[in-house]
Amino acid sequence: MKRIKILKYILIFVFCVISYKLQIARVYAQHSSLSISPPIIELIIKPGKSVLVAYKLINYGDPTVLKSKVVSFSPKDNLGGISLKEYLEGPIRFELDNANLQLNDSFFLKTRDYQQLLLRIRAPEGAPEGDYYYTLLTETQPPPTLEGVTTSKAKAVIGSNILITVTSEGNVDILGKVALFDVIPRYRLNFFGNKINLFDSNDRIPVVLVLENKGKNMIKPQGEIILSGKIGEKSKYEILPQNVLAESQRLLTTKELMKTRYSSLELSGFFIGSYKISTTINFGENSPNIYASTSFVALPFRFLIGLFIAALLTVIIVKIYKRNSEE
Amino acid sequence: MKKIVMFFFITLNFSFLTTNCVNAIDMQSSQYKIQMSNVNSGSDYMTGSGSRLSMTLGQLAAEEFKSNGYLLKAGFQYINSIIPFSFSISNTNIDIGTVLPNTPATGATTLTVSFGSSGEYQVTVGKETMLKTFTDDFIPDTECDSGYSCTISSANQWTTTSALGFGYNMSGTDITADFIDGDYFRPFSSSTSPVIIMSNSNVTLNATPTPNPNPTIPALPTGTPRDIYHESTITFKVNVDANQQAGTYQTVIDFVATPSY
């Protein structure tokens, strides 16, 4: 009898242990998820020097085979987009310092596992001064072929940008100018050769600031956009120091929150009268300030039209009423 | 009594099996969300010949390291934080199924980009080959409906069953404006000249301006932080006629996600 009791308890214990083991994690369809850090590095380097940068690549998806490589890129538009090239341009040399891994080698990564990529960046002796832009790409291997069904296999590729300035003396070429600073008006009037940007008082005012870098090195603008009204009101919006790559343009962004895709800032509120918007930009210590300004006029058109229609209707009603009472 | 004890024991055991999702450092509630928190647990050092770069995750000022002939900065300097850039594809094997003549078949997958609050990124798409069999019979790229031609960078209507080909539609956040609704498709470009399908140039937050009671001073934009996940769905569509060679048609589509500079 005692034996049966003990056996019973053992059975319960085994049952409980097995039930723990049966607990399973959520399962998804073949899932690819990669994360890389840092997402960008900026390096100013002398010819003949090298630097080692440690990237952390994490696989949050299904176990997969990965491959890393470095390619060149160029700016694509003035919104910070990039155009990747299929090869490596320029004098900079890249290699992995990992003991058992080289660039373009395949490696396996389990779910939630990570690989540290020790990327050595070398500017050889005699490397021409200037800027060179690269992207470290890591790609997954597409899933195996399925027989009998039409399928599209997806390959996930994740990148991290590398901006390199080669300089012997540490001098960089700063040649920035404001390519465009204006508002996108609802109406634009030409009044004796002067352009007047007109808005309704309740309109949002999109402000566009495009900076052009004519130099051979990337620049990082700092500054602000200032809105001032006729009665002394003033608002300041700080410009984000985003990189403007060599010989390219970029739509600058302010730290303020609201903006559309093609504007640097979107002012909102109730505006009435004439307003001036100005910007002052510099590129770090001892660099000259550059300045641009524009203006706009805001009037309560919708309110005035509504008032006019209401007045007109009132007059008509009064006239009809008078005519009726005379008859 | 013993039965009750045993029942209690087993019930207790099963209660332990119910687990909740646990996030490592989840700094949010219904009241707040910290997007750029000071989390120093990920601090690390990078070393080079005669150089050492201190990296600190979080809002602490990103340490710049200057040594003999170098200046190296990691992460976006205006955010002073090293936010990992993440990209996910929910399903890498997009099953379009068995395609019948003049009966459009579709398959979809979800693309997700996570970039903390730094925001600026792009995702491009390109096909490595035509949608083809091992014997090189292929399904041509869609040209959309007759009179509504589409190109690799401009979507247009594709609703008729007589319009044949292989193409894709996008829906969700940060997609290009030409995907007006689920009937708008583009053909795939080649992977050597990919096109942008998702992008965002907003940095930090996206908020609604607070209504301002004062009519003379413009309202300061304030509001709630932007969601840190950017998610869209790509739907593949195939339509063939009775002349299409029977077989298993396959291709590889490259999705390349890169942060901005």
Which DSSP string do the residues of A230-298 spell out, in sequence order? Answer: TTS-EEEEEEP---B-TTEEEE--BSSS---TT-SEEEBS---EEEEEEEEEE-STTPPPEEEEEEEEE
Residue among B204, B208, B84, B223 at smallest CA distance from A239: B204
Q: What is the pLDDT of residue A22?
A: 57
Q: ω before A185 within 30° of 0 (cis)?
A: no
| B10 pLDDT more than 70 | no
Q: Name the residue of chain A whose CA is nearest to B251's CA.
A: A152
State how far the Cα of A71 lies from the Cα of A94, in Å rounded to an integer: 10
Instruction: Tell me the residues of chain B between 78 and 107 that have a Cβ less than 8 Å away from chain A.
Output: 78, 82-99, 105, 107
- Say if the Cβ atoms of B72 and A30 lie within 8 Å: no
User: Structural domain boundaries of chain A?
Assistant: 28-142+155-166, 176-304
Pair A154, A132: CB distance under 8 Å: no
Instruction: Tell me the residues of chain B between 222 and 261 that have a Cβ less than 8 Å away from chain A.
Output: 222-223, 236, 238, 248-261
Distances (CA, A) of A137 to A88, A210, B221: 12, 29, 37
Residue among B176, B54, B121, B227 at smallest CA distance from A159: B121
Note if the pTM is more than 0.80.
no
- Say if the Cβ atoms of B203 and A253 lie within 8 Å: yes
Question: How far is B254 from chain A, CA to nearest CA, in Å?
Answer: 5
Distances (CA, A) of B64 to A151, A257, B92: 48, 27, 39
Is the domain defined by A28-142+155-166 classed in CATH 2.40.50.660?
no
If you average pLDDT over every residue of chain B, what do you get? Answer: 73
A88 part of contact set with chain B, CB < 8 Å: no
Token pair for B215: 């009519």
- Say if the Cβ atoms of A135 and B258 lie within 8 Å: yes
Q: What is the pLDDT of residue B218?
A: 43
State how far the Cα of A31 lies from the Cα of B91, in Å rounded to an integer: 5
The DSSP output letter for A102 is -
Using a CB-CB distance cutoff of 8 angstroms, which residues of chain A are in contact with residue B103?
A: none
Domains A28-142+155-166 and A176-304 share a fold: yes
Residue A90 Ramachandran class (φ > 0 left, ψ -120 to 50 alpha, else beta): left
Mutate: best of B15, B93, B203, partner A, most A CBs <10 A: B93
Q: Which position has the token pair 């470095």?
A: A70
Using a CB-CB distance cutoff of 8 angstroms, which residues of chain B are in contact with residue A20?
A: 16-17
The DSSP output letter for B4 is H
Token pair for B94: 């997009």
The DSSP output letter for B183 is T
B14 part of contact set with chain A, CB < 8 Å: yes
- Interchain CB contacts (distance < 8 Å): A and B: 298
Sequence-ordered list of residues with C-beta below 8 angstroms from that of B62, at least 6 positions apart, any chain: B55, B56, B73, B74, B75, B77, B80, B81, B82
pLDDT in single tens digits along all 327 residues of chain A: 667 777 788 887 777 666 655 555 444 468 999 999 999 999 999 999 999 999 999 999 999 999 999 999 999 888 888 999 988 999 999 999 999 999 999 999 999 999 999 999 999 999 999 999 999 999 998 887 767 778 889 999 999 999 999 988 878 888 899 999 999 988 888 888 888 999 999 898 999 999 999 999 999 999 999 999 888 888 999 998 889 999 999 999 887 655 556 788 888 888 999 999 999 999 887 778 899 999 999 999 888 899 999 999 999 999 999 888 887
A77 part of contact set with chain B, CB < 8 Å: no
Mutate: best of B94, B110, B201, partner A, most A CBs <10 A: B201
State how far the Cα of B118 lies from the Cα of B18, in Å rounded to an integer: 36
Q: What is the pLDDT of residue B37?
A: 30
Indicate the burial class of A5 (C-beta count within 10 angstroms; 0-12, 13-18, 19 or more).
exposed
The DSSP bridge pattern shows strands A130-140 and A64-75 to be: antiparallel
Q: Which amino acid is at B171?
A: S
Domains of chain B, CATH where assigned: 35-82 (no CATH), 86-209+225-259 (2.60.40)
Using a CB-CB distance cutoff of 8 angstroms, which residues of chain B are in contact with residue A227?
A: 218
- Say if the Cβ atoms of B48 and A52 lie within 8 Å: yes
Pair B186, B152: CB distance under 8 Å: yes
Query: Is residue A14 classed as helix, strand or coil in its secondary structure?
Result: helix
Share of chain B above pLDDT 90, in %: 46
Residues pairing with A205 in the sheet: A267
Residue among A143, A116, A138, A145 at smallest CA distance from A52: A116
- Domain A176-304 belongs to what topology? Immunoglobulin-like (2.60.40)
